[in-house]
Structure 1
Amino acid sequence: MTDISRRSVTNLSAIPKEEYIYRCTSACAGCSSSLCLRYVLKAAGPDSVLVVPACCTSVIQGIYPATAMNVPVYNVAFAAAAACASGMSEAFAATGKETNVIVYAGDGGTVDIGIQSLSGAFERGTNFLYICYDNEAYGNTGMQRSGSTPLGARTTTTPGGKPTSKKDLDRIVEAHNPPYMATACSAYPLDLYKKVRKALSIRGPKFIHILAPCPPGWRYPTEKTVEMGKLAVKTGVWVLYEREFGKLTINGPSKAAMRKPEPLEDYISGQGRFKNLSPETLDLMRQQVEQNIQRLAREEEGVC
């Protein structure tokens, strides 16, 4: 891995000013996944390569040679990102290079189509960082439901609301016992920056799962992206934590939310994808949020 600065970063002003993703992206207004990638690359630095399967980022980067990326990008097939990263990581190691190999993939290419190569790379102990930016649908092709789409959400293929719950990707990854895994959210860029830096300081397979609200897919005004991410955390829908060598630590913003979460309705009501949600579905969603909070709290306390 590249030499990552050891100086403490305690606020956004201390984050490096260098930019590795430029303003000429093809992202939608209010896109949080491109905001996340900006901080990911600031944390990783110039000696990094991105492996990007088919997803929104494939479009956001623009057309070569006039792309918005200032690091090498490998665009690969939907199912192949982790497999490509495995070969790339081994090739760099064989030539004595410590270049950061980072997969940056959407939920469709991670939770569904790419999960087999992700599992294989983690089983082999590949030295890389896999990042899933999760907008909870196949955003690049019109917001069809994915395995990451939450219960009750309306998509182009679930116009009446998704009847099943979101696949628990994090527990699937946890079962592989990676040395480091974490959750993050686009509304908390400093938290994301620190987690990427920590991940890249550890050898072996690492995983970061980012909640990336999507204005056109979730159907909220473009200026509400940061607010929507914060509501996800404050209501307990999305818990920020990191698991380092098996030990779980719940991070600051979620610590407060777990003690006294804001009403789930505050998060749901601002999104058109949850329009006409039935009271029964809302109750079930609330139960799932509470159960997940309790499970993580028990794990952090060491109570099985």
Structure 2
Amino acid sequence: MPANAKTISDDELFYGHKACAGCGGSLAVRAALKVLGPNAVCALPAGCMSAVGFNFPQLCFANNAMITPFAATASVLSGIAAGLEAQGKSPAEYPVVGFAGDGGTADIGLQALSGAIDRNDDILYICYDNEAYMNTGIQKSSLTPFGASTTTTPAGRNVHGCATQKKNLFEIVAAHDIPYAATASIGYLPDYLAKVEKAASIRGTKFIQVIAPCPTGWGTAVDATVDIAKEMVDCGLWPLLEYEGSAVSGQPAGRLTVSRCPRQFSSVEHYVRSQGRFKALTDEEVAGVQQFRDNLWQRLEARL
């Protein structure tokens, strides 16, 4: 049966952690493990979830989990998968999953991820995207959006936060013709659960990039995390997508689909103005963010 609020397991496999109140990353990990089950073997690099989940003498994972070198999440996942295969353990019964932040994925971990996809190792890689290096003090990553103030892209008189656009990691991964890739948001939890479940049923390398707001780094209330994650989708700045590679879809160039297409976008300005990290943006710069949204969807429509 599809995983949803009624069918999902009551077992908690990630609990007692020390994450900040309202942490989106912890919600992404908790929900995914409920789908994957107690036999899932996890690997996490240095980052928020390893920092809050491995506090000696407490381990907040009820299943097997380990910390990897920062750049090596996908490589360690490949090694775990090979070890389980050598023991005769089925990847369907013992899924191998990695949870890494945006910096550990799109920046320092991209080479290892690309290699795993090239080998088509039977692993699931989940990037909980909070749009900065939050664990080490809110530094810019290549997934930090334009205008976001971080400690390395502070909002000043001349430059109002991050001067670059968010890297399109999903398209980079899909360009490998990966068997399965998806974007998700903890604001639309049933969609995220369904994609984790679907990924677990596909053999080969799978990748999910899930938006997971950080109240500390985003400058939002701790009880607004899910609403902000939902609004990012509704205003069009985060399309919910799926890519099925040629080996899965049977199509030479793979298949790209939109999981949720808003009939009418909500206000980009409201989304931006509700977060402290964007407080320095001018009206003209906010209009530029909206234009970025429009261009993004025009490019998507041309590909569908």
Normalization by structure 2: what TM-score? 0.92
Whether 1:8 and 2:2 are equivalent positions in the alignment is: yes
The whole-number CA distance in structure 2 between the counterparts of 1:40 and 1:50 is 11
The whole-number CA distance in structure 1 between the counterparts of 2:12 and 2:207 is 23
Root mean square deviation, CA, Å: 1.2
Which aligned pairs between 1:13-92 and structure 2 lie closer than 5 A?
Answer: 13-22=6-15, 24-92=16-84
Which aligned pairs between 1:1-304 and structure 2 lie closer than 5 A?
Answer: 7-9=1-3, 11-22=4-15, 24-98=16-90, 99-160=94-155, 161-245=161-245, 246-251=254-259, 254-255=260-261, 257=262, 259-300=263-304
5+ long unaligned stretches in structure 1: 1-6
The whole-number CA distance in structure 1 between the counterparts of 2:59 and 2:178 is 33
| 58-67 or 178-187, larger mean C-alpha shift | 58-67
CA contact under 8 A between 1:231 and 1:266: conserved in structure 2? no
5+ long unaligned stretches in structure 2: 156-160, 246-253
SS of the aligned residue for 2:58 comes to coil
CA contact under 8 A between 1:89 and 1:101: conserved in structure 2? yes
SS of the aligned residue for 2:55 comes to coil
Q: Deviations over 1:33-64 (max 9, x none)?
A: 11111110011011111110011001121424
SS of the aligned residue for 2:220 comes to coil
Aligned length, in residue pairs = 288
Cα offset, 1:199, TM superposition? 0.2
**Partner amino acid, structure 2, of 1:119:** S
CA contact under 8 A between 2:39 and 2:64: conserved in structure 1? no
CA contact under 8 A between 1:50 and 1:72: conserved in structure 2? yes
The whole-number CA distance in structure 1 between the counterparts of 2:243 and 2:56 is 38
Cα offset, 1:87, TM superposition? 1.3
The whole-number CA distance in structure 2 between the counterparts of 1:51 and 1:19 is 18
The whole-number CA distance in structure 1 between the counterparts of 2:144 and 2:2 is 36
The whole-number CA distance in structure 1 between the counterparts of 2:8 and 2:101 is 25
SS of the aligned residue for 1:110 comes to helix
- Aligned residue number for residue 158 of structure 2: none
Cα offset, 1:294, TM superposition? 2.0
Normalization by structure 1: what TM-score? 0.92
The whole-number CA distance in structure 1 between the counterparts of 2:68 and 2:2 is 35
Q: Which runs of 4+ in 1 moved over 6 A?
A: none
